[in-house]
Structure 1
Amino acid sequence: MTLDLKNRVAVLTGASRGIGYAVAKELAKTGIHQVLVARTVGGLEELDDEVRALGGSATLVPLDITDMQALDRLGASIHERWGRLDALIANAGVLGVLAPLSQVKAKDWEQTMTVNLTANWRLLRSLDPLLRKSDAGRAVFMTSGAARRAKAYWGPYSVSKAALEMMVRIYSQEVAMTPLRANLFNPGPVRTAMRAKAMPGEDPQSLPHPSELAPAIVDMLSPELDRNGEVYDWPSRSWMSPGPAA
């Protein structure tokens, strides 16, 4: 059954391809107004056509997630137009380089941390006051099994995702006494460009399409969901705690 999220507003980052693109199409069926964020104007415009064809509505925001001032302006613009935010899906991320830690270049380390961690913190910082104004604010951040598995050559990506999980856990504790809930989603292996880069010899047809897991992400925006500071692991279709609460 499709959620009814009419008269609500959501921000979705990394919307122009992969998982973000599929989630935007799924959200279009709920009636929620989407603020779609991505770097590529062409991808956003193509997605906008599909969202509208499905009966949805969207505001397109072409920006680079590493532009911290732009993220601050995003919060201000949403406040001016709607006065609140009901959902955040922080989907944008990068794989970075796969290399021994001692050989990772500083600029590559910094880019991975900036996109996967710092930009999400700035996004949270910008949008937190708006999410708190919702009667049931929901924030979902994309994680990975790499956050909990020490695997050679995956240092920048794994460290960034492990830090992201800790950030979301801390934030979930800070909002525990409010209607706002913050959780993480682990998609597992999915047919995306990032997966192809990480596993170049893998048959993409052996992996699930992003559209298969998009409904599970959308379900995490339900006002009825009371999970907080947890990870929904899509491969196992189960919830898990990333660690004990303080």
Structure 2
Amino acid sequence: MEGLDHKNIIIFGATGFIGQYLTNTLANTGARLIIHGKTYEKVNELYQSTSSKNDNIISFCSDVLSEKFYLELFKTVSSHFDHIDVMINLIGKFNGLKSITDLSHRDWNDLMEINFSCYWRIIKELNSIMGGKKKTKIIFLTNKKIEKGKAYHHALGLSKSCLCSLVNILNDEKKKIGLESILIEAEQLNIGITSLLKGQNFFKNKDLDTIIKKIMEKL
């Protein structure tokens, strides 16, 4: 796609259902990519399937629940990018429909960390190579029905609501210095977000195409 050649783009959660599709799309644009996933096996599989299209792809794996991830994050990214043009955060977890009081304390903490807190932590660690004259776009996905508080979506709903506030705060504080945060509405997430984890075909190709098109239009 015109305009993305040589852009520095990092995708967190690239090995998820949407992330894989997006990575394959961006691999054809000439952009420089850093792709992240939780496990080596999945990250390597995605890297092997896309590196033949683009020789400017770097991959790394790490668990956002690990302190080591944040201790090494800046060094890992800055060794390849001196500036981030686009950050796309697709990290997420949903462990099934449950009443909000049926989660264990650990489940609650992990879900809030994965679906919200890690977004802030990543931005904090990479803040010094974002924004400025070159500008940076940070892209997240949301779903308004879940965001407003949908029954049995427990910590995910709260996380999406918090994410909306985070985006508003970031834009109020940072947009004037070249950092723009963008929330993309993905109506399709409402049909079964567990498909992102299990790889089940809840999404049809046209649904994925719609989400990817919305992301690409913002780059």
TM-score, normalised via structure 2 length: 0.86
Counterpart CA distance in 1 for 2:133 and 2:60 is 21
Cα distance change, pair 204–70 in 1 and its aligned pair in 2 (3 A): closer
Q: More deviation in 181-190 or 72-81?
A: 72-81
Counterpart CA distance in 2 for 1:31 and 1:44 is 20
Cα distance change, pair 215–3 in 1 and its aligned pair in 2 (3 A): farther
Post-superposition CA distance 1:87-136 (Å, at most 9, x none): 10010101134222232211111111010111111011112221124613
Q: Higher helix share goes to which structure?
A: 2
Counterpart CA distance in 2 for 1:130 and 1:215 is 27
| Deviation of 1:29 (Å) | 1.9
CA contact (8 A) 1:11 1:35 kept: yes
Q: Aligned with 1:53: secondary structure?
A: coil
Cα distance change, pair 75–43 in 1 and its aligned pair in 2 (3 A): same
* Structure 2 match to 1:38: 37
1:24 maps to amino acid: T
CA RMSD of aligned residues (A): 2.7
Q: Aligned with 1:35: secondary structure?
A: strand
| Deviation of 1:172 (Å) | 1.1
Q: More deviation in 37-46 or 142-151?
A: 142-151
CA contact (8 A) 2:137 2:179 kept: yes
Counterpart CA distance in 2 for 1:71 and 1:214 is 28
Name the % identity: 18
Counterpart CA distance in 2 for 1:13 and 1:158 is 20
Q: More deviation in 81-90 or 206-215?
A: 206-215
Which of 193, 198, 210 is the equivalent residue of 2:208? Answer: 210
Matches within 5 A, 1:207-246: 208-221=206-219
Any unmatched runs of 5+ in structure 1? 222-246
* Structure 2 match to 1:162: 161
Question: What stretches of structure 1 move > 4 A for 4+ residues in a row?
Answer: 190-193
1:41 maps to amino acid: Y
Aligned length: 217
Query: Does residue 150 of structure 2 align to residue 144 of structure 1?
Result: no
